[in-house]
C-alpha cells in the first residue's frame, strides 16, 4: 500500500473490546485487583487498645541473638541483611497476636467505623537495617502490624507512653522492669516447653491475682507474718477493695471490648474470654478478690481458686494464649504444661535488681 492510500476497514480481533484502555474507574479497580489484598486502616493510638510487642517476643531469634553475643553488632547486622528474605519462625507472642487480629476482625464487622480495637506495635531496639527482614516476616504471615519503633540499640521504653501502650510484651526482663517502673503494664514472655493448640477464634487471657491484677498487699502479709495472719487479714478486710496491680488496666481494656459484643447480644459468642487463676483459697480469701473486681466494675469470665495447688494442669485445660503471674515458680509450671506464660516483675516476691545488667542485643527484647 502506497503512502496516503486509504486503508480498508479491519475486523476487530476477538476480545479486542476488552483490551481497550479502561476508563479511570475501571483502571483503578483493575490495579487494585493486582495489588495485595487491602488491609484495614490503622486506628489512632489514643482510641485503640495498644499492644506493644518486641521482635524477640513475636519471632524466634535465638540464632541471631547468639551471633550478637559471640561476634558483635556488625556481624549481627550483616547476618540479618544476608537472610532478610528468610522469614523468622513464630515466637511465643505469635499466637496471642493472631488471636488479637481475630477479635479485631469481629469488631470491624460489628462496628465498621470504630477505632476501639487492638492496635499492635512492633517495639524493638533493633537497628533500622534489620527492619526489612521484620517487615518481610510480618508480610509472610499476613499480620496486620503497621506501626514499628526501631531504636538502633537504644531502649524503646521512652516511646511506650507516646504510643498510649496498654500492654508491653518483651523477652528482655530488664526492659520489662523499666516499663513497670514507668507505670506501664508489662511482662516478660516465655516460650512453652511444648506446643499446644490454642483457639483460633477466641482470645483467652489468664491472670494471677495478687501482684498482677491486685497490689502485693496480701503477699507482703504472708511474707512478713505467715498464712494464718494472712487469712485473718483477708477476713477482716473482705469488704475493702485491694489496690490495683500493674495489669488491672489491661483487664479493664479487655472488659470494655467484651461489652461491645455483649451489647449486640453476643455474650455467649464473645471472642474474648478472661480467667482469674489464683493460689488463694475460695473460702478463706476468695471473696475479697471477687469483691475488689466488682468494686472496679470488672469481672473475669472464670475464677479458679487453687488453694496453693499447681496452676499448670488447670492452665493446660484452659489453653490460654497467655498467662500472667508474678512468681517464676508458677510461670515455669505453666511452661511445662505447654502454656505461653509471662512474668510480671512486681511486688515483694521479686528478687533484687542487678546492679550491672548483662550486655543486651539489639534484638534482645
- Is the separation of the CB atoms in 175 and 123 below 8 Å? no
Please tell me whether residue 170 adopts helix, strand or coil conformation.
strand
User: Residue 280, class by beta-carbon neighbours within 10 Å (0-12 exposed, 13-18 middle, 19+ buried)?
Assistant: buried
- Is the separation of the CB atoms in 324 and 344 below 8 Å? yes
Please tell me whether residue 280 adopts helix, strand or coil conformation.
coil
* Rounded distance between C-alpha atoms, residue 18 and residue 258, angstroms: 49
* Rounded distance between C-alpha atoms, residue 144 and residue 107, angstroms: 15
* Rounded distance between C-alpha atoms, residue 241 and residue 214, angstroms: 9
- CB 239: neighbour CB atoms within 10 A? 10
User: Residue 241, class by beta-carbon neighbours within 10 Å (0-12 exposed, 13-18 middle, 19+ buried)?
Assistant: middle
Q: Report how far apart, in Å, the C-alpha atoms of 154 and of each of 64, 97, 161, 253, 364 are.
A: 18, 25, 16, 29, 11
Instruction: Name the one residue in this structure whose C-alpha cell is 503477699.
Output: 219
Out of 172, 208, 210, 216, the active site residue is 208
- Is the separation of the CB atoms in 128 and 55 below 8 Å? no
* Rounded distance between C-alpha atoms, residue 59 and residue 68, angstroms: 16
Residue 208 a catalytic site member: yes
- Is the separation of the CB atoms in 168 and 186 below 8 Å? yes
DSSP H helix total and E strand total for the chain: 15, 12
- Is the separation of the CB atoms in 87 and 137 below 8 Å? yes
Cβ-based neighbours of 98, under 8 Å, separated by 6 or more = 143, 200
Query: For residue 285, is it left (φ>0), alpha (ψ between -120 and 50) or beta?
Result: alpha
* Residues annotated as catalytic (active site), given as ranges: 208
Amino acid at each position: 500500500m502506497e503512502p496516503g492510500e486509504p486503508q480498508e476497514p479491519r475486523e476487530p480481533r476477538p476480545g479486542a473490546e476488552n483490551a481497550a484502555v479502561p476508563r479511570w474507574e475501571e483502571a483503578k479497580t483493575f490495579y487494585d485487583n493486582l495489588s495485595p489484598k487491602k488491609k484495614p486502616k490503622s486506628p489512632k493510638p489514643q482510641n485503640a487498645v495498644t499492644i506493644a510487642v518486641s521482635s524477640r517476643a513475636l519471632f524466634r531469634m535465638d540464632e541471631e541473638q547468639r551471633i550478637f553475643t559471640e561476634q558483635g553488632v556488625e556481624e549481627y547486622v550483616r547476618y540479618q541483611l544476608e537472610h532478610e528474605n528468610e522469614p523468622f519462625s513464630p515466637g511465643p507472642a505469635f499466637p496471642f497476636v493472631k488471636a488479637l487480629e481475630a477479635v479485631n476482625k469481629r469488631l470491624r464487622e460489628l462496628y465498621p467505623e470504630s477505632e476501639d480495637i487492638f492496635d499492635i506495635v512492633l517495639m524493638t531496639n533493633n537497628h533500622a537495617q534489620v527492619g526489612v527482614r521484620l517487615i518481610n516476616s510480618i508480610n509472610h504471615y499476613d499480620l496486620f502490624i503497621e506501626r514499628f519503633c526501631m531504636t538502633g540499640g537504644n531502649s524503646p521504653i521512652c516511646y511506650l507512653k507516646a504510643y498510649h501502650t496498654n500492654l508491653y510484651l518483651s523477652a528482655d526482663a530488664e526492659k520489662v522492669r523499666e516499663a513497670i517502673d514507668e507505670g506501664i503494664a508489662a511482662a516478660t514472655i516465655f516460650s512453652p516447653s511444648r506446643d499446644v493448640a490454642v483457639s483460633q477464634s477466641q482470645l483467652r487471657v489468664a491472670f494471677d491475682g495478687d501482684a498482677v491484677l491486685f497490689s502485693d498487699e496480701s503477699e507482703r502479709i504472708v511474707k512478713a507474718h505467715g498464712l494464718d495472719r494472712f487469712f485473718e487479714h483477708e477476713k477482716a478486710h473482705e469488704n475493702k477493695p485491694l489496690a490495683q496491680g500493674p495489669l488491672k488496666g489491661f483487664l479493664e481494656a479487655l472488659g470494655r471490648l467484651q461489652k461491645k459484643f455483649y451489647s449486640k447480644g453476643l455474650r455467649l459468642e464473645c471472642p474474648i474470654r478472661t480467667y482469674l487463676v489464683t493460689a488463694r483459697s475460695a473460702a478463706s480469701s476468695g471473696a475479697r478478690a471477687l469483691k475488689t473486681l466488682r468494686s472496679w466494675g470488672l469481672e473475669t469470665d472464670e475464677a479458679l481458686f487453687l488453694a496453693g495447688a499447681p496452676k499448670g494442669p488447670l492452665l493446660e485445660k484452659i489453653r490460654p494464649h497467655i498467662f500472667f503471674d508474678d512468681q517464676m515458680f508458677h510461670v515455669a509450671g505453666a511452661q511445662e504444661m505447654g502454656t505461653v506464660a509471662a512474668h510480671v516483675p512486681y511486688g515483694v516476691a521479686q528478687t533484687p535488681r542487678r546492679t550491672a545488667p548483662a550486655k543486651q542485643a539489639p534484638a534482645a527484647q
